[in-house]
Structures are given as C-alpha cells and as structure tokens.
Structure 1
Amino acid sequence: MAHLLVFGPGYTATPIMERAISEGWSVTATYRDEVKKSNLEQKGITAIPFDADSYDCPPETHILITPTPKDGCPIFKRWGSWAEQQNNISSINYLSSTNVYGDHGGDWVDEETPTTPSLKRGKLRLEAERNWSDLANKIGARTGLFRLAGIYGPGRNALVSLQKGKARRIIKDGQIFSRTHVTDICEAVWAFMNDGNANGVFNLADDEPCAPHLVIEEAAELLGVTPPPLENFETAEMSEMARSFYMESKRVRNDKVKALIGKAFHYPNYKVGLRELLKTDG
C-alpha cells in the first residue's frame, strides 16, 4: 500500500488526498492548529504537527507540497534535512506556478521555455522548485514539478465572485491568463505518482487561455445577471497584489501533461468548467 504525505492539506490538496484514500493509500498531512487536525482526522487522514520532532516514513511514500513559498522556503527548511535521511520516498511533488516563466507578452510558453520570473513570488517558486528537485535527485526519488495556472473549482470561481459582489472586469490591452480546474490538477498529480517513469516539469493549464474579463462575462451570462462595468487597468483602483497579476501575460501549452494523463482534461476550458460549477455554485 502506497502512502501520501502532504504539506499544506488545503483546497488543491484535498481532492488528491481523497483520491488516495479511495484507492486504498494511507494519507498523512501536517497541521498547525487543532481545528485543522480535527478536520483531517475526520476524513481518515493521520495528522501530524508541522513542527513534529520526527516522523517514520512508510514504504513507497509520495510527498506533496502545495503552499505558496515564503522567504526561506519554511517547509523545505523544516523538512528538507529529514527527507534527505529517508530511503522510502518514491516521489516529491511540488505545486508550483506558471509565474516562474515571467512575462511573454501573450506568447506561448512550454516546459522548455527559460524561467525568467519578474515577480518576487515567481522567484520564490523557482527557488522552491530547485530545492525540492535537488533533494529528490540526492535521494533517488522522482520529481514532479507542476506549474499551475490560475486555480478554480467548487467554491472558488467567477460564479461565486459575482454572487459575492467581488468580481471585476478589468481590461488591459493584450492581457492573457491561463487557468486550470482543481479536478484536472488532481488527475495530473495522481497520474504522475502512479507512473514509475514520469519525471520533471509539467504545465497545468487548460486549452483556452483568454483575457480575464471574458471569464466574468461568461459567468454573468450563466447566472443571468449583468456583468460588472468595464474598468481600464491603468486607472482602476487596485491593491498592489491585485495589480501585480496583470504584470505578466502568457499562453501556456499543456501537451506534456496531457500525454501523462493519457486523455483530455475534464474541463478543457473555462466555459465547460463554469457550466458544470453552475450546478453547485449557481
């Protein structure tokens, strides 16, 4: 029986953990507070404190790391030395971001495109990728580096944003975003962990990159509501964090991850994804 060890058992990791349990794997995840511990245990997941003194790694362990890195890569800093001492780790899977590619003016990027992040969080992602990849090489484990586009899914999508009054239609000439449904992220990571030959970098983005305001308009049409007014990026009032998301533009190729999965995405574009989410979030 294989084992999954998760650092950051949140929104993106949850369907992966559920899939592992349904397939007979044992699952362990770290926690930082008692509420999280209780939630994990209710799902049949073994919970261990993030600052645990030690942890006995079961045979055929696959590690999944999901949180956005901070300065110093705290997860790697806390658990990297421990992982170097283990001999039961089969793969290390890190959920990174397409922002490691930097800005490409709306052009296409793939896994061979040089990584030239311009934003601090992209640079931290790239540092974390290298840390985990180097560690995996040292211990003879496979490395799955999954570069994710904007994540959406149940409870986190344009339909919900519109209903909460938080959706905005920001227009910036030439701005292109890619996105990926959480279900397709789960499918790719699961396929990787169960493929003894897979290794390396995989982009996770759907088939239809587009301007962000088009997603809001599609969601508004599905809900039968008037979309929010158009706003020019140059004059719109935004936080520095929100504004930074518009500083890079690219289209992301996904051929490699499709070959890994062996089939098309469940949600090949935002229109299909939103129509399905309308059943639960509409």
Structure 2
Amino acid sequence: MSHLFCFGFGFTAHRLAKKLRADGWSVSGTARTAEKCAVLRDAGFACQEFDGSSSLEDVSDLKNATHILLSAPPGEQGDPVLLRHRNDLAENGNLQWIGYLSATSVYGDTGGALVDEMAALKATTARGLRRIESEKAWLELGREHELPVHVFRLAGIYGPGRSAIDQLRSGKARRIIKEGHLFSRIHVDDIVNVLLASIAAPRPGGTYNVCDDEPAMSSDVMEYAAESLGLEPPPAIPFTSTSLSEMARSFYADNRLVDNSLIKSELGVTLTYPDFRVGLKAILAERG
C-alpha cells in the first residue's frame, strides 16, 4: 500500500491527505503540538508531535513511507527534518516521491519582472534566504542518495477557511493600497492537483512554480470579496501609513511576476481556479 508521511500536517497537507486516503492510501504525519495531533487523530490520521527540537519518538511510519511531503518551514538552525531525520530518509529504500513545499519568496525582488524556475534566487528576507538553503539541502540529499526529491515554490495560499472572504467575516480584513504591486496566489486544491500530478509522474530534482494565472493587487482581491458578500470594503490603508507594522510591510518588500507554465506543459495540470475570482466564488458557494 502507498503510504504518505507528512512532516507538518498543515492546510495543504491536510487537503492532500484526505484526497489520498479516499483513494486507498495510508497517511500519517506530524504536527507541532499535542492539541493539533489530537485533532488529526480524531480525523483518523496517525500523528506525532514534531517541532524540530527533538527527533520523532517512533520512526516506523517514516521508514515505511513510500511518499514524503515536507511542509515544515526552516528555522534559524536550518531545516528541522534534515537536522533530525536525514539518515532515516537516506536509508529508506521504499521512497518513490519526496515533495518539498518551498515558496516563491526565493526569487526576491525583480521589480515586477517575470521569473521561471531557471531564474536566479535573489531573496534578501530572512524567510526567503532560509528557503533557498533548504531547497539546496534537499536537492543535494536527493542527488547524494538517489532520492526522488521535488521542490514546489508556492505563491500565497488561499482556500476555504483561509481567504479574503473569511477575513471579512471575522472582522480582521485590511485593505492595504500599494498601486501596481501585484501578488501571485494559488488555491490550496490546485496545489493538491499539482502534487498529485507530480506523484503520478515523478522527475527527481524537478522544481516547479505553483501559482494561478492572474497576479493581482491584494486590495483588488479584498474589494472583490467584499462585493461578493454584499459588504463595503474595509477602509483603504496606504502602504505609506505609519500604522502598518514591519511584519505587514515585509510582505510588500518584493515585487515579482511568476511563470506557471511548467506545471501545465510538463505535469499536464489544468488549474481549477485560474484566478482569484473563480476561487473566491467557489469558497463562497461551498461555505455559504
């Protein structure tokens, strides 16, 4: 039986896990806290705590896995999975696919120019630089031990429970205006579709940009979500406003457009949600 082990059972991993379990796979993984593990166990998934501070107590699932999904972010000390379980992975002779979820932040600021998977990695933020190092380390492990490592550079993720619609309903929405600053994004279920396509046709060492077809200003997305709900959009906050935190500003540090043609030409993916409007309509229809 095919067995997926997820290091980091978050938003994307959970959606992929439910899809594969419905297809007869065995799925297990990790979460950072006992509370999150309890929720996952209640949903029928075997789960262990793992925050990178120590190794897994039981590595039997990891050693028996045929597929590995890596969504735990790197920390200041490096990639937590590589730090604790590099040898376990290298010694697993069952592995047919490893997917590392990275981010388009590795490209840094291009001044709005388009980047494909061959573009130079010019991140300057701490998050982006750590991602670059993790990508390199995973690909190196793959080459060294002939492991089927794949890298997926994800744009901003949204989906049911995690969208502009949900922010508006919770009262936490903000409409930050920075004219001409476009963000790429991707619906979580399209990420799942890309991962499934890669699992079906592995190319060890492959790297893929994962985003939709229409980058857009975050304020445009928020305005569309408000209109869909019949609400007034939140007050406009100029990017120059002193009320913005450094964390909020950091998300606007880089401006780039991301080329997603490889997931279509090589993996044969057709996006279910090619732009934010289609995605938000589906979320609204699903959640009411």
The normalised TM-score by structure 2 is 0.92
SS at match of 1:262: coil
The letter of the residue matching 1:189 is L
Provide the identity percentage: 40
Number of paired residues? 282
Q: Can you list the C-alpha shifts for 1:100-159, whole angstroms capped at 9, x where unaligned? A: 000011111111111110111000111111111111222212221110110000000001
SS at match of 1:5: strand
* 2:108 is aligned with 1:102: yes
* 2:9 is aligned with 1:9: yes
Say whether the 8 Å CA contact 2:212–2:271 is kept in structure 1: yes
Stretch deviating more after TM superposition (198-207 or 212-221): 198-207
Say whether the 8 Å CA contact 1:170–1:232 is kept in structure 2: yes
Q: Distance in 1 between matches of 2:270 and 2:63?
A: 33
Q: Distance in 2 between matches of 1:59 and 1:40?
A: 20
* 2:40 is aligned with 1:40: yes
The normalised TM-score by structure 1 is 0.94
Q: Distance in 2 between matches of 1:39 and 1:166?
A: 25
2:119 is matched with 113
Q: What are the residue-to-residue correspondences of 1:126-205 with 2, within 5 Å?
A: 126-197=132-203, 199-205=205-211
1:41–1:60 CA distance, 2 compared to 1 (3 A):
closer
1:172–1:33 CA distance, 2 compared to 1 (3 A):
closer
SS at match of 1:225: coil
1:260–1:26 CA distance, 2 compared to 1 (3 A):
farther
Q: Can you list the C-alpha shifts for 1:185-211, whole angstroms capped at 9, x where unaligned? A: 011111111214464110011000011
The letter of the residue matching 2:195 is V
2:75 to 70, 77, 101: 70
2:26 is matched with 26
Stretch deviating more after TM superposition (78-87 or 262-271): 78-87
Following TM superposition, by how much is the alpha carbon of 1:258 offset from its aligned partner in structure 2, in angstroms?
Answer: 1.7
- Structure 2's unaligned 5+ residue stretches are none
Following TM superposition, by how much is the alpha carbon of 1:34 offset from its aligned partner in structure 2, in angstroms?
Answer: 3.1
2:248 is matched with 242
Say whether the 8 Å CA contact 2:181–2:217 is kept in structure 1: yes
Following TM superposition, by how much is the alpha carbon of 1:86 offset from its aligned partner in structure 2, in angstroms?
Answer: 2.0
SS at match of 1:222: helix
Following TM superposition, by how much is the alpha carbon of 1:59 offset from its aligned partner in structure 2, in angstroms?
Answer: 5.7
SS at match of 2:41: helix
Say whether the 8 Å CA contact 1:13–1:66 is kept in structure 2: yes
Say whether the 8 Å CA contact 1:170–1:212 is kept in structure 2: yes
Say whether the 8 Å CA contact 1:188–1:260 is kept in structure 2: no
* 2:217 is aligned with 1:211: yes
SS at match of 1:76: helix
SS at match of 1:271: helix
2:59 to 55, 58, 61: 55
Following TM superposition, by how much is the alpha carbon of 1:49 offset from its aligned partner in structure 2, in angstroms?
Answer: 4.1
RMSD: 1.8
Stretch deviating more after TM superposition (36-45 or 187-196): 36-45
Q: Distance in 2 between matches of 1:237 and 1:213?
A: 17
SS at match of 2:157: strand
* 2:246 is aligned with 1:252: no
